[in-house]
Amino acid sequence: MAAAALCVLVTGGAGYIGSHTVLQLLLHGYKTVVIDNLDNSSEVAITRVSQLAGDHAHNLAFHKMDIRDKHALEQLFASTKFDAVIHFAGLKAVGESVHKPLMYYNNNIIGTITLLEVMAAYECKKLVFSSSATVYGWPKEVPCTEEFPLSAANPYGRTKLMIEDICRDMYASDFNWKFILLRYFNPIGAHPSGQIGEDPRGIPNNLMPFIQQVAVGRQPALQVFGTDYSTKDGTGVRDYIHVVDLAEGHTAALKKLSDPKIGCEVYNLGTGKGTSVLEIVTAFEKASGKNIPLVKTGRRPGDAEIVYASTAKAERELNWKAKYGIEEMCRDQWNWAIKNPYGYQTKETR
Ligand code: NAD
Ligand code: UFG
pLDDT digits (tens, 9 = 90+) for 242-283: 999 999 999 999 999 999 999 999 999 999 999 999 999 999
pLDDT in tens, 133-165: 999 999 999 999 999 999 999 999 999 999 999
Q: Which one of 130, 136, 241 would you pick to mutate in the ligand 1 pocket, going by the greatest count of ligand atoms within 8 A of its CB? A: 130
Nearest atom of ligand 1 to the alpha carbon of 67? 19
Distance CA(199)–CA(41), nearest Å, equals 7
Q: Check whether 217 has a pLDDT greater than 90.
A: yes
Q: Give the number of the ligand closest to the Cα of residue 104.
A: 1
294 lines ligand 2 (CB under 6 A): no
Active site residues: 156
Report strand pairing: 275-276 vs 237-238.
antiparallel
Q: Give the number of the ligand closest to the Cα of residue 38.
A: 1
Q: Check whether 103 has a pLDDT greater than 60.
A: yes
Predicted confidence at residue 120, as pLDDT, reads 98
Predicted confidence at residue 221, as pLDDT, reads 98
Q: How confident is the model at residue 2 (pLDDT cuts 50, 70, 90)?
A: low
Distance CA(72)–CA(63), nearest Å, equals 10
Q: What is the average pLDDT value for the chain, to the nearest integer?
A: 97
Going from the Cα of 39 to the center of ligand 1, the distance in angstroms, rounded, reads 10
Mean pLDDT of 322-336: 98
Report strand pairing: 294-297 vs 222-225.
parallel
21 lines ligand 2 (CB under 6 A): no
For ligand 1, atom 8: residue with the closest CA: 15
245 lines ligand 1 (CB under 6 A): no
Nearest atom of ligand 2 to the alpha carbon of 224? 7
> Which residue, 310, 314, 6, 304, is CA-closest to 182?
314
Going from the Cα of 40 to the center of ligand 1, the distance in angstroms, rounded, reads 8
Predicted confidence at residue 349, as pLDDT, reads 79
Give the other-Cβ count within 10 Å of 163's Cβ: 22
Q: Are 171 and 179 in contact (CB under 8 A)?
A: yes
When mean pLDDT is compared across 6-10, 163-167, 198-202, the lowest value belongs to: 198-202
Q: Which one of 40, 250, 336 would you pick to mutate in the ligand 1 pocket, going by the greatest count of ligand atoms within 8 A of its CB? A: 40
How far is residue 183 from each of residues 88, 218, 266, measured CA to CA in Å?
12, 31, 7
Going from the Cα of 118 to the center of ligand 1, the distance in angstroms, rounded, reads 20
225 lines ligand 2 (CB under 6 A): yes
Q: What is the largest CA-CA distance in the chain?
A: 63
196 lines ligand 1 (CB under 6 A): no
Q: Check whether 317 has a pLDDT greater than 80.
A: yes
pLDDT in tens, 47-68: 999 999 999 999 999 999 999 9
pLDDT in tens, 169-189: 999 999 999 999 999 999 999
Whole-model pTM?
0.98
For ligand 2, atom 11: residue with the closest CA: 225
